[in-house]
Amino acid sequence: MKKIINSAKKTLEKGNLVIFPTETVYGLGADATNIDAIKMIYNLKKRPFNNPIICHFYNIKKIEENFEITPLDYNLANIFWPGPLTLILKKKITSNIHPILSNNLNFVGCRIPNNVIALELLRSVNFPIAAPSANLAEKISVTQLNHLSSELIEKSFLIDGGLTTLGLESTVLKTEKNKIKILRLGSITEEEIQKALPKSKIEKENFDNSLSPGNKKKHYSPNLPIRINVKHVKENEGLLNFGINNLKSNICEYNLSKKENLKEASRNFFHYLHLIDRSNCKGIAVAPIPSYGLGKTINDRLKRASAKDE
């Protein structure tokens, strides 16, 4: 792995792209201070420039060099970093992180991933790594390398870290005094945040925010049409199931969690969507998912995945 990390380091330093694992999904990474490298991400993913990119850091000292951090931010960081937390922080004037990755705003999503390979890569370079998920815009997120599109494979250096452990993206938060705003649902639940910081007020935005990625109406979408909260499965549909019920597909079925365990369901979610999307069915039927804890995040992804083209 040391040789692979060194090759990836050299790739990033030359202004090129690296696909690397995190605990959530795979990222498509570039030097966050290099405008041409960041543009390469946007162009390769076919991602609109108004959809911001999260910056990844090795430790909080590296974040402190670039951003202002409030006491409440520190509280969240101490509890959830390294991990699937993205904090929207105000950039210092001295920071050389390029504004193109954040809508030319002074606020940037920052996180420290909880993945050995990602951290080794971040430690090896002297700049933060800008990295959205390693998928084409609006398509299903990637939790293992064989989910990748050929367009991304051809233009990137790949680091194989196997199947990611969490399977859903980071939770994006922004603090204001004693208030925590959830800008994107993710692998850390609202309930976990409230339990960790019971004195803080938690607000949910309408999830259509210029500060956070993942909030387009249509996103995380398979190539096949998808129906959610189904009561029956059509003859030509594959089934993404949850728990034990009477739903059945004649073509293919993947159960997110027969035990109705939402952590297991989260880990399997994007992987199973990829598998059904590559099957010989004509559409995807999805069983109802309970809307609490990680179920809220899964349902958010399903709502966007099933949205019609704007």
Question: pLDDT tens digits for 89-140?
Answer: 999 999 999 999 998 889 999 999 999 999 999 999 999 999 999 999 989 9
Sheet-wide strand order for 237-241: 226-227, 283-286, 237-241, 253-255
CATH of residue 230: 3.40.50.11030
pLDDT score of 220 more than 90: no
Q: What percentage of residues in the chain have a pLDDT greater than 70?
A: 96
Q: What is d(CA 171, CA 285) in angstroms, rounded to the nearest whole number?
A: 26
Residue 300 lies in a domain: yes
What integer pLDDT is reported at residue 204 of this predicted model?
A: 83
What integer pLDDT is reported at residue 70 of this predicted model?
A: 96
Q: Helix or strand or coil: residue 133?
A: strand
Q: Which two tokens stand for residue 22?
A: 């995190």
What integer pLDDT is reported at residue 206 of this predicted model?
A: 67
Q: What is d(CA 280, CA 224) in angstroms, rounded to the nearest whole number?
A: 10
What integer pLDDT is reported at residue 310 of this predicted model?
A: 52
Residue 265 lies in a domain: yes
Asked whether residue 144 falls in the same domain as residue 26, the answer is yes
Residue 190 lies in a domain: yes
What integer pLDDT is reported at residue 208 of this predicted model?
A: 56
Asked if 180 and 72 touch (Cβ cutoff 8 Å), the reply is yes
Q: What is d(CA 26, CA 160) in angstroms, rounded to the nearest whole number?
A: 9
CATH of residue 16: 3.90.870.10
What integer pLDDT is reported at residue 155 of this predicted model?
A: 95
What integer pLDDT is reported at residue 5 of this predicted model?
A: 97
Residue 142 lies in a domain: yes
Plot region of 167 (φ>0 → left; ψ -120 to 50 → alpha; else → beta): left
What integer pLDDT is reported at residue 211 of this predicted model?
A: 78
Q: What percentage of residues in the chain have a pLDDT greater than 90?
A: 89
What integer pLDDT is reported at residue 221 of this predicted model?
A: 87
Burial group, residue 200, by CB count within 10 angstroms (0-12, 13-18, 19+):
middle
Average pLDDT across the chain, whole number: 94
What integer pLDDT is reported at residue 307 of this predicted model?
A: 85
Asked whether residue 233 falls in the same domain as residue 89, the answer is no
- Domain of residue 299 covers 226-305
Q: What is d(CA 161, CA 114) in angstroms, rounded to the nearest whole number?
A: 13
- Closest Cα to residue 169, out of 84, 267, 46, 275? 84
Residue 165 lies in a domain: yes
Asked whether residue 132 falls in the same domain as residue 256, the answer is no
Q: What interhelical angle do 116-124 and 2-13 show, nearest 10?
A: 50
Domain closes at, from 171, 204, 237? 204
Asked whether residue 244 falls in the same domain as residue 187, the answer is no
Asked whether residue 263 falls in the same domain as residue 183, the answer is no
Asked whether residue 244 falls in the same domain as residue 119, the answer is no
Taking only the tens place, the pLDDT of each residue in 221-273 is 899 999 999 999 999 999 999 999 999 999 999 999 999 999 999 999 999 99
pLDDT band at 309 (very low <50, low <70, confident <90, very high): low
Residue 210 lies in a domain: no
Asked whether residue 46 falls in the same domain as residue 163, the answer is yes
Torsion over CA of 103, 64, 20 and 164, rounded to 10 degrees?
-100
Taking only the tens place, the pLDDT of each residue in 28-57 is 999 999 999 999 999 999 999 999 999 999
Domain closes at, from 169, 204, 239? 204
Burial group, residue 57, by CB count within 10 angstroms (0-12, 13-18, 19+):
buried
Asked if 282 and 238 touch (Cβ cutoff 8 Å), the reply is no
Tally of domains in the chain: 2
Which residues have CB under 8 Å from 280's CB, separation 6+?
Answer: 251, 252
Domain closes at, from 174, 204, 234? 204
Which residues have CB under 8 Å from 53's CB, separation 6+?
Answer: 38, 41, 101, 102, 109, 130, 131, 132, 213
Least reliable range by pLDDT among 45-49, 57-61, 71-75, 167-171: 45-49
Asked whether residue 153 falls in the same domain as residue 94, the answer is yes
Q: Which two tokens stand for residue 111?
A: 């996180």
Q: Which two tokens stand for residue 64?
A: 């402190």
